[in-house]
Chain A
Amino acid sequence: MIEITNLTKRFGDLVAVDHLSLSIGPGEVFGFIGPNGAGKSTTMKILACLMKPDEGSARVDGLDVMRDGDRIRRILGYMPDFLGVYDDLTVDEYLQFFAAAFEIPRSRRRTVVDSVLELTDLTGKRKAMVDSLSRGMQQRLGVARVLIHEPKVLLLDEPASGLDPRARIEMRSLITELGRMGKCLMVSSHILTELGEMSTSIGIIERGRLLFAGSLAEALARVRGGERIAIRPEGDADLVSAAATLAADPRVARAFAEDGNLVVELTPGEHGHHFVLERLMVSGVRIASFAPQAVKLEDAFLTLTKGALQ
């Protein structure tokens, strides 16, 4: 659905997007991660035909952003990071406005507006003036707006920004649902835990360069080698000797005592945890708690961007 090849965009001396290449398929929820100014929004704007690239090409459903803007706009929904709204319209009129802009026949407009209102849980706000809605509701309205013409591709720039926890959870489930519906989604966010929960693939961008693009499993696999287990012993166990016992195992990279806990770092690869328990039992250590620390997207991000952030 989205094919980007060697995409480059410069603003004077600043290279906002530097030879970026990636591909996103249908039904994929692509989490676009990167710090502020990394080039996420610029890439999205180029895909939405709002900015010309200096080099490279970008295609949406096989259509070139430089030539087929009119056709791309009909299959693409773009939600910018800051949603400006027409303050003189009601929610219903706002959605009707965009339905008319997308040339949806008047006979179908009511049904379409009703269905997106239903999907975004805004049916009760149909008559509300857009400018009087809260930020969360305006964000939901933004999502309703991008869905009005049933686009195949959705570009959502920081959709959860400024939302409270409940609205975030709702937004996350909405995005997951859209992915299940077979739409191709590109979602940018700073909140990595959220992206981790809803993305099927991720791309990490830093200073315009794509440092990683692939499935979430691939990203996590890269850092899985550093899996840690925190063990809290019961009573006055000899943590130093227990650590020495564990460190002798070839599957353990490092074992050490830290704040009364025994911390075990495993070597890369898939390892069961049973051998750690067995060795500790043999050493006579009674275990109060045993907490494998799951690899998170944050770990993947930090590992993958290590050395590139300077």
Chain B
Amino acid sequence: MARARAILRGLRPGALLFGPIFQREVVASGRRRGTYVARCAYAVGLLVIVGLIFNGMRDSAGSYSAVSRLQALQTAAPQLALVIAWFQFVAMTLGSPILSAGAICDEKRARTLAVLMTTPLTSAQIVVGKLASRLVHILILSLIATPFLLAIRVCGGLDAALVLGTTALALTTAVLGASLGLLFSVGHARATTAAVMGLLALLLVQGGPAAAEGVIYYAVNYSDLGAPATYEYHKNILATCAPATMGLTTLGVAMGTGAPDLVIQADWPFDGVEGPVARSFGPTWAWCSGYNLVMAAGATLLTIRVLRRRMLREASGGGAPTRARRRRRRAPATTAMPEPAIHGAAGPAASTEAAPAAPEAPSGAKAGDAHDEPVRERERQREVSHHPVLWRELRQSSFGSRRAAWIVVLVTLGGLILLYANTRMSDEGLHATIAVLGAIVAMIQPVFLTTGGVAGEREARTWEVLLTTPLSGRAVVLGKYLGLLRAQWFLPSVALGHLSVAALGGWISWWFAVHAALIFLGPALFLTATGQLFSLVFRKAVTAAVANLGVALALWLGVWVALLMGGWFMDWTDSRWFARFGHAAYALNPVAMAVSSGESAMHPGRIASEFTLEGFSRVRLSLGEFTAVVVGVLAAYAALGGGALALAILGFRRLSGRSS
């Protein structure tokens, strides 16, 4: 009875949401400069977008009368409101897993999770308190954008229901993202890994059902096997995908039909009407928001369970589930575990539950050193080279753990099998899709995976020790850079492997594979270098990852915005340089370049003078010219990366903490 009362007391909304964890998190984040920098950056981003569009509208209607200008303003106001709504949606969706990824990781690193365990706080109070504190930030960001949306209503922007709808979509997606970031924060040691996993999980939860429906649709309607069949894509499934719902809402506003409703076709009579009828179940955004909240609640419950299990495990004397413990758990109680390369010091039997009386390790292990974990050994000893940092980095696992490696390999294989099963090698779309996917991976991987180099050492407390050696800044920075570059090999190699096979088989030109390799390499060279630089500058890997994401967005989005601003404010649009900058901005984008290369280099013998370079105007290039552009862009990326590395090396002493 008392226990039930205690549980109920812990489940009170006040205790759950606004308990000591929430209060501590809000107070601590209020003291951080980064909190205000992020909010200011968000507000400035909004202002820039509003200013750009407003200025563009003013210019386009500038030569007409005041009435015409007002009419132009009224026509464009809904678009402006939608741009703001999209900005809000994208920023909050991408930001939420990053915001919550450090929540438990930081506690583990600071070793305060064990301290929390000694208090009467439940795992539910910890998780919900942390989530609620993150939601406060998200709510504040939302409050920054919403006044803009409502203010634009004066000029005839979106109606209140649509403002509510788009804000609800952004908020609930952010809640889901934050819940998923928190879930992975429990299981991962590094916040950056938790953030990346959170983002991937968000992608899966949002895109999974719609994609699965798409696969069924494609398999049934376009399969070569069996009799032709028709399968209608159930559009309502898009209510599980917030970006799609936002897209449908945007479309509805553009077409003047408003936000779409969730409609169900039914064969049974409604309201006395016979035959198939369509029945509306309210706006799609409401359903999508509901889906997001349900999934967020599920993720939060799972997080509570995972954290509780972890806390119980730690309370029973164990820590994080090490490989040794996992192996021991899996092993039958009476059977000695065969050990492949690493096993307990006292031999294989020491790894099993049946061998508690196994003799203590031969030497070096003292009575006082006894701990419940068997000491793992590696039989094969390696010789360290003259460049120890590089040596170690090159031997680091690319995937972090064997389990992660298996997941990545299986998912990649599954994706390829799905693609190969539904297409033929002669299908141009297959090769283009793989090249574009490779380019996307080449853009995303270095943004997030390269910022743990130094920040990871700081978090593991090995950085100070490394700094007391005579290793130069150049040896440390370059060693880590090359190691991080190597760690990104797998997915681009799969794409290049496919393109090479296709080229060998004569389905595509070899030039396509060569261009793709050069296109993939550029962003990796540059963003790995900036990741390394930010890793030195910022103490936390997740902050470094956000800064690196900012560089990537500035490169692939900011350049376009800057060009547009230049065009509008400086009246550059007719300038020859404007077009050239446009082409340069296009050439810097790996996805765009992969598309351009794929369009023309797909077929051997059909490549000369077929390449196009989009920008603000289209230009056709010969194979030689296009290859020169690809090489030039790679050189530019390498030069920029070299600059970032040079900054890291020159500033190493100051940034690392060495006094001389």
Contacts and interface: CB of A to CB of B under 8 A. Distances in A.
A129 B385 CA distance: 19
A92 B383 CA distance: 9
A92 B378 CA distance: 10
Most B-side CB within 10 Å, residue of A51, A76, A128: A128
Given A50-B468, A80-B465, A133 B375 contact: yes
Interface string B321-338: 010100000000000000
Contacts of A123: 363-364
Given A97-B392, A163-B368, A166-B368, A70 B657 contact: no
Contacts of A64: 660
Contacts of B366: 136, 166-167, 170
Nearest to B388: A100
B470 A102 contact: yes
Interface string A43-86: 00110111111000000000011111110111011101011111
A73 B468 contact: yes
Overall SS of chain B's interface: loop
Interface of B: 322, 324, 342, 345, 361-371, 373-379, 381-389, 391-392, 395-397, 457, 460-471, 653, 657-660
Contacts of A109: 384
A111 interface: no
B339 to A, nearest CB: 12
A106 interface: yes
A50 B384 contact: no
A121 B366 CA distance: 10
Contact of B468 (A68, A78, A88, A127): A78
Q: Which 5 pairs across A and B sit closest by C-beta, in order of nearness?
A: A84-B461, A164-B368, A124-B363, A69-B660, A101-B469
A228 interface: no
Contacts, number: 166
Q: Say what secondary structure dominates the interface of chain A.
A: mixed
A82 B342 CA distance: 26
A106 B392 CA distance: 16
A303 interface: no
Nearest to B366: A166
A99 interface: yes
Contacts of A167: 366, 368-369
7 contacts: A53-B659, A70-B470, A90-B381, A93-B382, A96-B383, A100-B384, A166-B368
Contact of A124 (B364, B378, B397): B364
A49 B658 contact: yes
Nearest to A100: B388
A304 B234 CA distance: 82
B463 to A, nearest CB: 8
Contacts of A124: 345, 361-365
Given A101-B388, A136-B369, A128 B345 contact: yes
A73 B469 CA distance: 6
A191 B432 CA distance: 68
Contacts of B388: 96-98, 100-101
Nearest to B461: A84
B81 to A, nearest CB: 46
B358 to A, nearest CB: 15
A136 B653 CA distance: 33
Nearest to B372: A134
Nearest to B345: A128
Given A83-B465, A132-B324, A66 B377 contact: no
